[in-house]
Amino acid sequence: MWRVIRPDSINVWSNEQVLTRLRRYYAILRDEKPAKMLVASKVEVDDLNAPLDKLWHQHQKASGKFRSLLREIDQGKVKLSDLDIPKTSYLDLKVELSKRILASCHFCERRCGVNRMEGKHGACQLNAKSYVSSAFLHFGEEAPLVPSGTNARDSFWRCNLFQYVYV
Ligand code: SF4
């Protein structure tokens, strides 16, 4: 349907400048390359129970491993499907770090410091849950973002700094 409503979303990919800037994104759309999230889920990290400073250290190390793996995958040297799923991954580590940040919330510049994991609310009135206020198919984005799996837009309730997520 989007082809009728937004023919520019097809035509935009014949623009060399757009293609150059969004080459990897376009390859993901065409199923030629995996999303970075999937690559992150294959990078092994140690135990997630370590203190915060150790977790950040692990994050730094894992970021390097992630970048190398991504390069190898993009160059066709490694296939994502050939890699085992680790017990704990770089993606899990990011989730754990997010939870630790929520426990003394400094997700935004207000830096309330409340423990959202215990149900406390800061200025945004959010606890550890995300509340979706609306979700709909969205055809009004810039041409490269239509349809591409980014055309369903969820608006988060209350948080005005992280309002949208594209799925
Ligand atoms: S306003 Fe919300 S997101 Fe920002 S620091 Fe406070 S509790 Fe965290």
Note the pLDDT tens digit of each residue in 115-149: 999 999 888 888 888 776 666 777 778 888 886 54
Q: What is the DSSP letter of 84?
A: P
- Can you give the pLDDT at residue 152? 44
- Can you give the pLDDT at residue 146? 81
Rounded Cα gap, residues 12 and 112, in angstroms? 43
Residue 126 CA: nearest ligand 1 atom is 2
Lining residues, ligand 1, CB within 6 Å: 105-108, 110-112, 114, 116, 122-124, 126
pTM, 2 dp: 0.82
- Can you give the pLDDT at residue 102? 92
- Can you give the pLDDT at residue 159? 65
CA 27 to mean position of chain CA atoms = 17
What number is the average pLDDT over the span 57-71? 97
- CA-wise closest residue to 90 among 65, 67, 71, 62: 62
